[in-house]
Chain A
Amino acid sequence: MMDDLLGDFIAETRDTLEALAGEIVAWEAAPDDRARLDSIFRFVHTVKGSCGFLDLPRLERLSHAAEDVLADVRADRRRPDARLVNAVLAVIDRIAELTDAIESGQPLTDTDDHVLIAALSEQAAPEPEAVPAQPPVQAPVQADVTLEDDELAAAVAAALDIEPEPFVLLNPVEPAPAPVPAPAPAPKPAAVAAPAAAAPQAAAQRSVSRTIRLPVDLLDRMMAGVSDMVLARNELARRLRDTGAESPTEVAFERLSLCIAEMRDAITRTRMARVEHLFTALPRMVRDISAELGKQVLLEIDGGDVELDREMIEMIRDPLTHIVRNAIDHGIEPPEQRILAGKSMAGRLHVAARQVGNQILIEVIDDGRGIDGDKLAKKAISAGLISQDRGATMGWDAKLALIFEPGLSTANKVTAISGRGVGMDVVRANVERIGGTVELESKVGQGLHLTLRVPLTLTIIPALTISCGGQQFAIPRSAIEEIVRIGGDAVRMGSLGGAPVVFIRGTRLPVVSLRDVIGLGGEGPEQTTLVVLKLSAGNRYAMAVEAVHDHEELVVKPAAPVVMASGIYGGTTLPDNSRPMLLLDVAGIAEKAGVQREQSAAEVVETVEEEVHGDAVPVLLFRDLDGVGRAIPLGLVERIEDCYAGAISTTAGKVRLNIDGRLIPLVSCGVRITDEKVRVLRMHDGNQELAYAIDAVIDIVNTEIVLQRNVVPGPIAGVMLVEDRPVEFLDAFWLFAQGNGGEHAREVRPYCLLSDGDPWTRQVLAPLVESAGYEVVYPGSEKADGADVVIVSESAPFEPREGAVLKLRTIADDPRAAPDSLWRYDREGLTAELRRHWNKRSAA
């Protein structure tokens, strides 16, 4: 893959050099020409960008130096005099040579790179000397010096201070033509003929890069032609079947079929490439940039096998790079800031590609600080871009869109990474030029969700064919996580609140019956296979289908608007059997089936890779409506949802939430809910449901729950330190009792007297006793006398009294202990005893 990228880079660089040839010459003649200057600037900028992640430090240094100088010129900080032009041209020539050298594998001496770079600086003495660089066709001569030179960096720095040496001729064997009359060096990369012939070369030839340029229409025609050929072949196949072909005819036909299939593949390859090409460079880039900026970033990439027109890929490359850089530079906060904000230390950057209908969506999602639309609006007002009124009345989306205004940078300092005047305005212009759009969604403090939509002319997607209701459909392979059979190992069907779910290796997923969604009736073969599908943001669900067939590469075309309007299709495909097949839109089906798009807390646990130590359980930390940080064991939380406040009603004195067409009790810490939407934790105790309203989820941690318990029953079970912060734990028992209580008469609980009031008894024993259904009392309480059960430590003096007595010993295996004593930590034994007495009492 790297070779591919390098090859692409080399071809691209050469192409641009060719195109730039004229520009360079013209610029030399008229250095004031901005347009030309801009083209040259963009060239070096692109080269610099590619070098970064292709690991070409020399090229990067050279192009960076040139870029700096050109930026200065653009900003009118320097005049483009002849000397500067020479120096830039020299650098560009060197870039060309290096590109050749990379391709041919020949090393190139770099001892004078720093000289070229130094020549760019202002302090360099006026230098009209001979051309330092050769036209790019020349192959290098010295073959014994290595490419890498770490001292070069130091040399560059030093070079700016020292007197630059006179230019060194690269090719000393160069005969007469080389010392061109100064100071009009103008090496024309296009005018290649003479020097090429002149220099006798010892080194290898320039290896010709074997690419050619083709008009895109020609490729389209080929594509259409091949598809027709396939259909004609199918027609022939049918006829042969009908008329019963003879054996030689069949053999010949098979050969023809094979040839056609291969040709179809090859021609497909001419236009399409996988988005992978865009994505492979990302991990390195992200790593380097985050290292440079001192940030930690976790990169997630999805959908690399979505195929896209090569043309489109090239057009999106720059915008995508810029967006990712922005995300790391301006979006994701430094680790300390993130921790203060209650976020995880490493920022999450998710880059995903998928096909929806006749578009490819490339999403870049980060959980950084997001874009502050209000700040943007203020800047825009003060920059005179919008009026005060407009700024006051514009909606949030419009404010976010201000980021595309040129010249409006929210970065407090324009960093070397992303601030080079190639701003979001250029990104959007580039995307729109190919008929695409850029959309933004952002919540301040929570991150930015950016979607690039690029139209498809033609797409080929690896897809899986499934059947349902007697019909075949296709599902994009990129959306499929796995396929399981119902009844297989680790697959257990279940039901939750009337909706079918499946437990796959212990994780619960909603189940969607495709047959039901598309309304093909209830009859038909059993849907025995589950396809686990991925939605955005890590959500998943399982689709039940009748059968799974083949993997195929399918050409997907957009369906007519009236078909797309149904929301569940991503397009139409024409598999080889020539009957159109619909491609399913995985997200659309999820929506139609009512699968909630939210962070399912239970699934997040799957991805938390920490080991669970001892009694550590996952605990959900959240910020409650009153701003206090609280927690609840994750196992109690079924899902976390956003609901409309309008769905909350108070009936018969109880607050309820209308959700999924049912009313479930809603409990909260008491703060009035004023927002339009409220986030709730949905809990299920095995019998009943409950919703608890919160502000926001903070995190999920694994920890052992050891609480300092409240003595008085209430919504808070106790407090403990979680990651050095005191966190109140919700008392689920109390919540459920609160939410659903009132309908049953509160049973009077039996009392258990704990004869010792020591801290252990209070904090460790008491909760256990309470959870067994007893009310705990201590000596001195008025209820102490009538206690149903008494628990003593066996060493304590004791008077026999009413009620059963449980003796606890401190040592597990103590031969001297009374035979009927229980070890204090024998949870099972204790609970069993307590229950036994409870039952006895109830039965009585």
Chain B
Amino acid sequence: MQNLYLIVDIAGQRAALPASYVESVVEIDDVAPVPCAPPHIFGLFALRSRVLTVVDTLAALGAGRRVAEKEMQAVIVTVDSHLYGLLVDNVDDVVAIDGVPTPPRALLAQGWTHCAAGVLDHEGEPLLLIDVHALVAGPAAIAA
């Protein structure tokens, strides 16, 4: 079984996002902050006539906080008819990968455990498959 995945770099880790969620990749600059929102919400960004919620993937994974930069790369995904922009270090390519994700055998840091849906093997490299719902919901969801 072949599924399409977008390969990205997040927090220094190679990861895969299910292509079915991904709409596009954009460079974003002017982000409006959202006070009182959970820490993994970086802010809001306007893309054409739509507002999307920018997710600080570092914070969502419990790996720190993203520092705002002039231009950042974001992968635009749709979850439950809401648009989100996931901040990534780098975007690689869309690839087709066979097989189902296997449970990660290594001990993952807590944040990754929450957001990883498994491990995919691609060209000899293990890729962590990201659970987009969990990533967007953020670390607070664990406590809930």
Are A560 and B53 in contact, with the CB atoms below 8 A?
yes
The answer on a CB contact under 8 Å between B36 and A568 is yes
Report the bound CA distance from A561 to B79 in whole Å: 10
Q: Which of B36, B41, B45 contacts A519 (CB 8 A)?
A: B36
Is B63 in contact with chain A by the CB < 8 A criterion? no
Complex contacts, B38 vs chain A, CB 8 Å: 562, 565-566
Interface string of B71-96 (1 = CB under 8 A from A): 00000000010111000000000000
A574 within 8 A of B: yes
Contact call A579/B137, Cβ cutoff below 8 A: no
The answer to whether A646 has its CB under 8 Å from any CB of chain B is no
Smallest CB separation, B106 vs chain A (Å): 29
Q: How far is the CA of A835 from the CA of B16 in the complex (A)?
A: 86
- CB contact list, B6-47 vs A, under 8 A: 30, 32-38, 40-41, 44-46
Q: Which residues of A contact B51 (CB under 8 A)?
A: 557, 559, 572, 574, 580
Which A residues are CB-close (under 8 A) to B33? 471
A517 to B48 alpha-carbon distance, docked (Å) = 31
Is A581's CB under 8 angstroms from B41's CB? Answer: no
Distance in Å: Cβ of B15 to nearest Cβ of chain A: 20
Nearest A residue (CB) for B137: A562
Most buried by B among A224, A567, A578: A578
CB distance from B48 to the nearest CB of A (A): 6
Q: Which residues of A contact B49 (CB under 8 A)?
A: 224, 227-228, 230-231, 574
On chain B, the number of residues with a Cβ less than 8 Å from chain A's Cβ atoms is 25
Give the CA-CA distance A240 to B47 in the complex, in Å: 21
How near does chain B come to A564, taking the closest CB pair, in angstroms?
A: 9
Partner among B32, B35, B41, B46 whose Cβ is within 8 Å of the Cβ of A562? B41
B120 within 8 A of A: no
Question: Are B53 and A566 in contact, CB atoms less than 8 angstroms apart?
Answer: no
Whether the pair A471, B80 counts as a contact (CB closer than 8 A) is: no
Please give, as numbers and ranges, the residues of chain A lying within 8 Å of B44 by CB-CB distance.
559, 563, 572, 580, 582
Most buried by B among A562, A565, A574: A562
Complex CA gap A559/B37 in Å reads: 11
B132 to chain A, nearest CB (A): 13
- Among B35, B40, B53, point to the contact of A520 (Cβ < 8 A): B35
Q: Is A518 an interface residue (CB 8 A)?
A: yes
In the complex, residue of chain B having the shortest beta-carbon distance to the beta carbon of A559: B53
Count A/B pairs, Cβ under 8 Å: 71
Nearest chain A residue, comparing its CB with the CB of B80 = A561
Taking the complex as formed, is A140 at the interface, i.e. its CB lies under 8 A from any CB of chain B? no
A582 to B80, CA, bound (A): 20
The reply to whether A563 and B41 contact each other, CB–CB distance below 8 Å, is: yes
* Closest residue on chain B to residue A520 by CB atoms: B35
How far apart are the CA atoms of A314 and B53 in the complex, in Å? Answer: 33
Chain A residues 502-520 with CB under 8 Å of chain B are 517-520
CA distance A574 to B44 in the complex (A): 10
Q: Is B136 on the interface with A (CB-CB < 8 A)? A: yes
CB distance from B111 to the nearest CB of A (A): 16
* Residues of chain B with a CB closer than 8 A to A469's CB: 35
Closest B residue to A578 by beta carbon equals B46
Q: A562 touching B37 by the CB < 8 A rule? A: yes
Indicate if the CB atoms of B34 and A582 lie closer than 8 Å: yes
Smallest Cβ-Cβ distance to A568: which chain B residue? B36
Q: A231 to B37, alpha carbons, bound, how many Å?
A: 27
Given contacts A560-B82, A563-B41, whether A581 and B138 have CB atoms under 8 Å apart is: no
Residues of A within 8 A of B30 (CB): 579
Q: Are B36 and A566 in contact (CB under 8 A)?
A: yes
List the A side residues contacting B36 at CB < 8 Å: 517-519, 566-568
Task: Please name all residues of chain A whose beta carbon is closer than 8 Å to the beta carbon of B37 when the two chains form the complex.
Answer: 562-563, 566
- Check if B45 sits within 8 Å of A231, measured CB to CB: no
Residues in chain B near residue A557, CB distance under 8 A: 50-51
Chain B residues with CB under 8 A of A580: 32, 44-46, 51
Rounded to whole Å, the gap between the CB of B55 and the closest CB of chain A is: 8
B53 partner, pick from A230, A562, A567, A574, beta carbons under 8 A: A562
A557 to B81 CA separation, bound complex (whole angstroms): 12
**Chain A minimum-CB-distance residue to B43:** A580
B32 A581 Cβ-Cβ under 8 A: yes
Instruction: Report the minimal beta-carbon distance from A670 to chain B, rounded to whole angstroms.
Output: 45
Q: Assuming A224-B49, A580-B44, is B34 touching A566 (CB within 8 A)?
A: yes
The answer to whether A563 touches B48 (Cβ under 8 A) is no
Instruction: Tell me which residues across on chain B come within 8 A of A569, comparing CB atoms.
Output: 34
Q: How far is the CA of A469 from the CA of B33 in the complex (A)?
A: 11
Collect the chain B residues with CB atoms within 8 Å of residue A518's CB. Answer: 35-36
The winner among B30, B34, B48, B80 for most chain A CB atoms within 10 A is B34
Q: Which of A18-39 contact B (CB under 8 A)?
A: none
Complex formed: what's the CA distance from A10 to B38 in Å? 52
Q: Cβ of A572: which chain B residues have Cβ within 8 Å of it?
A: 44, 51
In whole angstroms, how far apart are the Cα atoms of A563 and B83 in the complex? 12
In the complex, what residues of B have CB within 8 A of residue A582's CB? 32, 34, 44
Q: Which of chain A's residues has its CB closest to B40's CB? A: A562
Q: Is the CB of A563 within 8 A of B35?
A: no
Interface string of A198-241 (1 = CB under 8 A from B): 00000000000000000000000000100110110000000000
Give the complex CA separation of A559 and B50 in angstroms: 11
Closest chain-A Cβ to B60's Cβ sits at a distance in Å of: 10
Complex CA distance for A561 and B144, rounded to whole angstroms: 15
Q: Contacts of B136 on A, CB cut-off 8 Å?
A: 560, 562
Q: A561-B82, A562-B137, A580-B46 are in contact. Are A471 and B32 (CB under 8 A)?
A: yes
Complex Cα distance, B38 from A579, in Å, reads: 20
A563 to B43, CA, bound (A): 9
Chain A: which residue is nearest B36 at the CB level? Answer: A566
Q: In the complex, A562→B79 CA distance in Å?
A: 12
Are B53's CB and A563's CB within 8 A?
A: yes
Q: With a CB–CB cut-off of 8 A, which chain B residues contact A517?
A: 36
User: What 0/1 pattern do residues 397 to 412 of A give for CB contact below 8 A with B?
Assistant: 0000000000000000
Give A163 Cβ to nearest chain B Cβ, in Å: 66
A192 to chain B, nearest CB (A): 44
Residues of B within 8 A of A581 (CB): 32
What chain B residues lie within 8 Å of A560 (beta carbons)? 53, 82-84, 136
Bound-complex Cα distance A578 to B31 (A) = 11
Q: How far is the CA of A518 from the CA of B32 in the complex (A)?
A: 14
Contact with B along A568-588 (1 / 0, CB 8 A): 110010100011111000000
The CB with the most chain A CB atoms within 10 A, among B33, B46, B49, B80, is that of: B49
Map CB proximity to B onto A747-766 as digits: 1 under 8 Å, 0 otherwise: 00000000000000000000
Residues of B within 8 A of A579 (CB): 30, 32, 46
Do residues B53 and A231 form an inter-chain contact, with CB atoms below 8 A?
no
Q: Please report the C-alpha to C-alpha distance between residue A773 and residue B31 in the assembled complex, in whole angstroms.
A: 66
Query: Which residue on chain A has the smallest CB distance to residue B55?
Result: A562
Q: How far is the CB of A46 from chain B (nearest CB, A)?
A: 34
Expressed in whole angstroms, the Cα–Cα distance for A562 and B135 within the complex equals 11
Cα separation A601 to B137 with both chains bound (whole Å):
42
Residues of chain B lying within 8 A (CB to CB) of residue A471? 32-33, 35
* 8 Å CB interface, A217-269 against B: 224, 227-228, 230-231
Give the Cβ gap from B81 to chain A, nearest Cβ, in Å: 9
A277→B138 CA distance, assembly (Å): 42
For B80, the chain A residues whose CB sits under 8 A away are 561
A558 and B50 alpha carbons, distance in the complex (Å): 11
CB distance from A794 to the nearest CB of B (A): 72
- Inter-chain CA distance A518–B37, complex, in Å, is 9
- Verify B48–A562 contact, CB threshold 8 A: no
Q: Which 9 A-B pairs have the closest CB atoms?
A: A227-B49, A518-B35, A580-B44, A560-B53, A566-B36, A572-B51, A560-B82, A580-B51, A580-B32
Given contacts A562-B53, A568-B36, 17 further A-B contacts (CB under 8 A): A228-B48, A228-B49, A469-B35, A471-B33, A518-B35, A520-B35, A561-B82, A562-B137, A562-B138, A565-B38, A567-B36, A569-B34, A574-B46, A578-B46, A580-B45, A580-B46, A582-B32
Q: What are 25 pairs between A and B in contact, CB < 8 Å?
A: A227-B48, A228-B49, A231-B46, A231-B48, A518-B35, A519-B35, A558-B82, A559-B51, A560-B136, A561-B82, A562-B37, A562-B38, A562-B40, A562-B136, A563-B34, A563-B41, A563-B53, A565-B38, A569-B34, A574-B46, A579-B46, A580-B32, A580-B46, A580-B51, A582-B34
